[in-house]
Structure formats: structure tokens, C-alpha cells
Structure 1
């Protein structure tokens, strides 16, 4: 029997999943990843810990299932995007921390490049923000005085995908894919190459950057495991991988991932669509013969707000408990704006902070839990509304995935507030499934992108139930709360 193997290296956890050729999950192993917060708004990770966790989960799957390497068609890798680090090209050891995509650490660096924001948007489809890799790389080069070494080829810069490919292949392959490269702010999304103008603006040597391949491509093989060599046959950013996992390969397909942050992607077809309302234009996927672009709206804090309820406030013992507490709450006026790391689409304000509005003497922990879940959904509403306004494409349904999408209260409220039908696939690991699909495409098991639709799944369905008056009141309350949040800095 043959298998498709997927590695999903996220912000808060690393997961390895083995699928059979029908897309059924055989086994999943997961490890938590730690983020550190040295100063307010700063978010770091240990690059070595990211690699070790990847090896660990792959090993567990292999040991638990007893699958031989010759039965694994290949490994597909999906990773958090934008997060980057610098490493020594001779030793392969990290020279810096990994600055996570959420981090506001480079806000001051961003201000130096605001005069180029229109040029950058035209070439990359991205806004000028500390969210992306360009200013993180520039900041790390300056912080550790590595510019000269980088220019001489002794220092490499990478996002997490190319870091894992490099480490898993024993340093033989240093490569990224188009979807991850499109998030660095150094990559021209129309020419599909690093842009010399952008490299000059940020003074980043091209020699330190990884080779760019198609998402569906051969990335060498790993020989770190006792089962024998495993071919790496696909790489993508986690959100693009989730779009593929939902089989949204045609123009107009839209999905929302409820992970650490919220990410809404709409397939816009073979040509990029540039937004005037704060949406990002990005590469959806490239194969040898096909490509599609996407519009993306991002919210910095999604499932991380549930972690805050659990770990920061100790209001719940586990994430699943939030659903029950939300149903117990009778409060309809409390509003939580979970802008712990700023606000993303359509505001792009990295300096505002989270807030709770409407607290009374009667407010209890159930109310705060409920309002936090609703705050997640209301941020998602902002993104979806902006996307519909920008593209004029009618929303027929919304596909969802990510850990927080398992919360029935959150999904029903999301359906109510948009309003639209929501489909939650039985296979919740859509990011991993997308990485597995890449293996199938590269290996030829799938003839093309359309061929992945021969794999079918059932879904949970949520339909709008809230009346229009209540919905309008809730949205109006939220919009007032956001305005206040943007003012308080």
C-alpha cells in the first residue's frame, strides 16, 4: 500500500500526518511549539526547536505505523509563512532567533520604507507592514552586524519552509516555493522571480536567499529516518496549502482558516487581482503547468485569543470548554476586540491593542468567553466583507478549517454574522491534506489540479439563524468598538 506524507509546521504546533491514496488519515503526531515574548509585541521562536519538532513528529508517525520508506510516495511540507531567521551557511546553525510573522519588532524599520509602499504593492501585492519577511531580514542583519558576511555568502536568510528543507536534506537543498517567496516582499509575483529593485531598496543580498521552485516540485530527499530515504515532493505556505486541501482550485473559491491567526483566501484565477481596500495579493499555487493567484485577508489573533482565555486569564481549562461557556452566557452587549498584536485587514494597524467594551458589575467569565469567540468571528466578518466588496464575487459558501473551527458556537455565530452557509469538512487537517495533494501532483498520482477532486469528503453545515435586526446591532456595536480601539494607543 502507498501513502502520502505531510508535515505541517505551524506557529504553535508541528504536525505530521500520513494519508492513504484516498485521502483518509492513517495517523497524526503533534508537538506544541513555544513562542517567547521578550518585549511587548515581540514574538520569537527557536529555529532548532522547530526543526527538532519536525523530526520528532515524523519519527512518531513512522514508528507508530511501521510504514516503510518505500511505501511513502513522498513528503509534502506546509509551514507558517513570513517568519524568518538567519543561519551560517557553513555550519547550518542558526545565527539568530526566528522572528515570527506576528511580531511587531520591526515597526520602526517599516517606517523607513513607507516612501516605497506603492512600488512594493505593485510588485508584490503586499502592504508595507512588519508582518512580512523583508524588514525582519533587514533588522536581523543590522542587529547582529551580519551584512558583510551575508554579502560574501556566509549567511543565509530563510523562511521556515526553506529552513526545514535545508535541515531535512542535510544541507543539500536550500529552496523555497513560490507561495512562500511571495510573502517575503522581495519576490515579484508576476515575473515569479526575486525583484532586483526590491533587493536594492532593502539592501538584501540575493546570494543569501533560497532558490525558488514551484509548489509542486522535487525538493531532494531526507535520509534522517530509519525507514530509508523519503522524497520531499512539495512545499507551500500553510494558508495556500489549506486552500488546496479544500480543493478550491477554481476562481471564486474561498476559505477561512481559524489557526493562531485568521486567514481568508479567495482563488482569483490565473491573473493577480490588486486590492485597494487592504487585502493582500499573493500566489496561490504553482505547478509545472498551472498556477493561480489569491486575495488574502489576515487577522493577527484568532485561535490565540482562545489560548489567552485558557493560559492568560485561566477562565477555561481547555479550548473545548469555551463552547459550553459561550452557550451559557446571556449577555448581548459585551464586545471583545482581540487586537493583541494589532489589527490586520482592512485596518493594518500594528500599534493598537486589544480591548473589552461594555463591562458591567454583572459581567462574568462566561460572558467574556462568549464575547471573545464573537470577537474572532467579527474580525473574520471584516475580512470577508472587504473581500466581497473588492472582488464583487458573490459568496455562495465559506469553507473553514483550523483548530478553532471545531467550536460549534463560533461557527454558528460566524454563519449568522456574515451571513452565509459554512462548510466544515470532516477532514479538519486541510493544511496537511493540501501538502499531501502536492505530493500526489508532483509524483503524477494526480494528473493535474482538477484530478484531486476525485477524493471526496462529507462536511458539517452551518446555516444563518440570526435575525437581521440583531445582526445589524451586533455589527454596529463591533464597529464602534474597533474605532475606539484604533484611537487608544
Structure 2
């Protein structure tokens, strides 16, 4: 792993030891954490929930960017108001955020031109389908490392330019900024319209479908294809350097880290070596394997992305990633809609364990991501009969998370040509101990679940403390993270049967949505072409028949 040597190390016993902050923005909450430098000790944190805006349009998922910004400010102010925390002790902060969520705003006024469109929003499915009718999904893989999918920011930016007249007009005037959540936060925290720093990092830029994975810059070919000006996009920097200063009254310190939430968790769990694999399971999910300095372009439905980029003079560490569109969200959806008392991911009741029904739930609420990339897939439940209980369907929803991870791990092993011998996991779903045992069973590998929960925040703080000019955190010398270990216990024949049945269920989820293309003109042209071709064939058939009659 490419990391800088740290020049200033602080003793954990020192009561005046500096603190490093971390802002974490997920799809469901905003939080601010204060860590002792060079440790996983949390001094104070404050968290507030954020909710999606109500929409009558199918597949639209939006949040209020002003509300997100205010929640971040609230979390910082409430944490800094803690009597044992002083501004002098906090030396830097970092930001970890959900990638793919994007918005537009006026750079002169700071007023948002759109809501924040979440990564899981599928309004661009028609646009992606139009792309796929003309191109292979991996057409630009050698540039950006990604297959075409509605989850990436570029398609959402193109949609805004095409469908929102205010965004289009502001772009023509040269006053429009597009950015992911990290860019929006840093621009506001560092001054906004007056002096805000318009930047992002390589881990977030890699998820836009616009960054050259080699040069780590916006690619001109992709910008031209999507009709996006580079002036409207932030400058790409490393994940660990000083970008600017916060302008909060209670906190005026350098912002020295930006990193995607999945990569932050990978770093927080100390996945430093090539081959280290990690799964993050929350509302959605992801499986990432560190591939070191080597880029591997997947042939099995995965993303080539950045794992870490630990400073402006350092080479990036690459990764292969398999995003999961629906993890904990699928479990909560089943519990809400199948008449259960609890919406939490609690342990499956032991009294039903011996009567387990082999029911399978494919949680394609908005299609399937890696390794299938099927926008036309939808949820199905397979294998239930008159004796099936709601608990069996809940169990199937939980097990679907584990099966999806197995799908991705299988693809990872094919791409890296090595077996995954253990898998580190964290996220809300991992609190279910019986589910983690099933994960070990179905994967047939050791599962490591950390005893601390805030690994995403820890990864962001590590990068912030590691930055040149801060030098308060030696990533290489972090204390070990304690883990609960789950070893596989399931018989190999049962593993095989269960996974075969899951795979059969996934295939049955395909093709339930007939997705039209974005362009109406293209629809008419296609229809006219079919009619014309049919007419020509009929004419040739009749002519040939008449000729045959004349000859005989």
C-alpha cells in the first residue's frame, strides 16, 4: 500500500493528544465523529437521520441538499459543544460520503438547481437502455473501468441538462456546478460563493463514469459523449491532502480528506494488502478487493476503481468492486410488507430454524447490480407453498444478502485468479449473528466482523490525519481491529444445492420490465425501419411467387 511516513506521532496516554474529525454522509444519516489521532477511540459523535423526499414518480429517489448541509453543520456544532472538546485540539477533519449521489447548483449564489439525486435513483434507466441498444455495456471500460449503469453520476448529470431547463440555461451561462455530496459539502464548508473550494477525490470521481482510471482526470471523450463541460466539474485530487479550511465558528480547521464511504470502510478495516477483501452491508452494499497498484479490468461484471489514494505524490491503490443495489433495504421491505412486528434486522427465531423452508427472495427492487447489471430484473419469491410462513420469507430476504455476496466473490475470484480465503464485513446487517454464520457457511470461508461499528468514519479520519501538513496519523501503525470470527459449518453438498437454487431464482427475476429508450425520435425511426423492411420482404416474396407462376 502506498502511504506516506508520518512525522509526528502522539502517545495514546497523552491527555492533550490531538483529535481528528470525520463527517459521514450515508443515504439515511449524517454524523460527525471525533477520534484520538492514531487510534480507533471515539471521543464524541453526533448523528441525525436524513430522509428521502416524497415523489410520485416511479424510481425517483431524491434528498434536499440544503437539509444535508444543515445536518452536517448541526452534527459538527453539537459535537464541538461537548465540554471536553476544544477547537485547539481538533487539527483536521475528513469527509466520507455515499458515492454516485449528484446535484447541480449555481456557483455565484450557492442555490441548488436540483435536489440531490441518489445513486439508487433509476430515472436514467431509459437513457442507459438507449446507450445499450447502440453499444456494449463495457464500451468505455478501458477508460473509466465501469459498465454502463443508471447508478453512475454521468447519466444523472446528462439527464439534468436534458430535462431541467433551469440547469440547461445556467450551464449555457457558465454558472453551473455539478458535484457529488463531498464536493457540495467542501464547497460550502470552505466558504461557498465567496471562497469555496470546488474539489473532489479520485474515489468519488471514479464512480461518476467520467474519470480516466489511468490519468485520474476527467476524460475528454466521456465529457463530449455526455455533453458536460469540464468547467462545471470539480478538480480531482487525492484522498489525503489539505483542500481548504472550515468556516464554522466552533471549528476552523483544515479539511484534509475526501473518500468514498465504501473505500473509507475498507481503509478503516485495515485492508492494506493486495487480495484483502471486504464487504460493506447497509441499506445497499458492496464487496471490494484490494488489487494493489495493478488495475484489473473485470471480465465478470465488476468495477475497476480506486481503493485509496493516500496523498498527491503517491500512486493510487486500485480495487475491484461489486456493488449491491439492495441489502438491508430488502430485509426491511419484507418485514414491513409481510406483517411482522419488528423492522429491525434481528436474529432469526431459533424455534423456526429446524423447520426452515428453502424459500428464495431476489431483492431486485430497482434491478440488480453486480455481477448481473440487469435493469429489467424485479423482486421475486420462489419456493413457497401453503405451509410457508412470513418468517420463512424474512429468512429468505436475509439470506439473499449472503447469496449476492457469494455471486460477487465468485466473480472476484475469476478476475484476480486467486481464491478469497477470508472476508471482512461491517455495516448494520452484520449485527445479525446467525446471518453472519450463514454467510460463512455459504461462502465456505472465514468471516471477520469488527467489534467496533464506525469503520467508515475511522477511515475518513485516518486519511485526514495522514495528510501532508497534518502528519498526525501513521496508517501503517494503527492498532489491530478486534473481530468476531465465523467459521463455515455447512456441508459442501448443502452449500452447492442452496446456491444452485439461488442462481435459478435470480434468472427467473430477469425480463420483468420492458424498458423503452430515452429518445422518442429513435422510437419512430426504429418503427419506420421495421415497417419499411417488412414491406420490402413482402414485395420480394410476392414478386418471386409471380415469377414462379410465369415460368411454370
User: TM-score higher than 0.5 here?
Assistant: yes
- How far does residue 6 in structure 1 lie from its aligned partner after superposition? 0.8
Equivalent in 165, 173, 179 of residue 152 of structure 1: 173
- How far does residue 471 in structure 1 lie from its aligned partner after superposition? 1.2
2: CA distance, partners of 1:129 / 1:388: 23
Give the total of aligned pairs. 484
2: CA distance, partners of 1:406 / 1:238: 19
Going from structure 1 to structure 2, the CA distance change for 1:327 and 1:129 (only over 3 Å counts) comes to: farther
SS at 1:69's partner residue?
coil
1: CA distance, partners of 2:125 / 2:351: 39
- Identify the residue that residue 161 of structure 1 maps to in structure 2: 182
Aligned: 1:365 with 2:383: no
8 Å CA contact retained: 1:326, 1:366:
no
- Identify the residue that residue 274 of structure 2 maps to in structure 1: 251
- Identify the residue that residue 446 of structure 1 maps to in structure 2: 473
- Identify the residue that residue 13 of structure 1 maps to in structure 2: 29
Residue deviations 1:202-254, cap 9 Å, x none? 11011110111110011212122x42412211000111111111111221111
RMSD over equivalenced CA pairs, Å: 1.7
- Identify the residue that residue 31 of structure 1 maps to in structure 2: 48
2: CA distance, partners of 1:326 / 1:309: 19
2: CA distance, partners of 1:467 / 1:28: 43
8 Å CA contact retained: 1:78, 1:161:
yes
- How far does residue 176 in structure 1 lie from its aligned partner after superposition? 0.4
SS at 1:113's partner residue?
helix
1: CA distance, partners of 2:70 / 2:31: 12
Matches for 1:86-485 after TM superposition, within 5 Å? 86-114=104-132, 115=134, 117-145=137-165, 146-171=167-192, 172-224=196-248, 226-286=249-309, 287-288=311-312, 289-320=314-345, 322-325=346-349, 328-329=352-353, 330-442=355-467, 443-447=470-474, 449=475, 451=476, 453-485=477-509
- Identify the residue that residue 98 of structure 2 maps to in structure 1: 80
- How far does residue 312 in structure 1 lie from its aligned partner after superposition? 4.3
8 Å CA contact retained: 2:80, 2:251:
no
- Identify the residue that residue 50 of structure 1 maps to in structure 2: 68
TM-score, normalised by the number of residues in structure 2: 0.85
1: CA distance, partners of 2:438 / 2:83: 39
- Identify the residue that residue 89 of structure 2 maps to in structure 1: 71
8 Å CA contact retained: 1:326, 1:369:
no
Residue deviations 1:170-226, cap 9 Å, x none? 2111110011011111110101111111100111011110111110011212122x4
SS at 1:216's partner residue?
coil
1: CA distance, partners of 2:305 / 2:199: 19
2: CA distance, partners of 1:279 / 1:477: 23
Comparing 197-206 with 32-41, greater Cα deviation is found at 32-41
SS at 1:68's partner residue?
coil
Greater relative contact order (Cα 8 A, min sep 6): structure 1 or 2?
Answer: 2
SS at 1:128's partner residue?
coil
Q: Which runs of 5+ in 1 are unaligned?
A: none
SS at 1:445's partner residue?
coil
Structure 1 runs of 4+ with >6 Å offset: none
8 Å CA contact retained: 2:207, 2:305:
yes
- Identify the residue that residue 533 of structure 2 maps to in structure 1: none
1: CA distance, partners of 2:85 / 2:247: 15
- How far does residue 148 in structure 1 lie from its aligned partner after superposition? 4.3
2: CA distance, partners of 1:381 / 1:303: 16
- How far does residue 59 in structure 1 lie from its aligned partner after superposition? 2.1
2: CA distance, partners of 1:65 / 1:394: 50
1: CA distance, partners of 2:281 / 2:366: 16
2: CA distance, partners of 1:138 / 1:232: 30
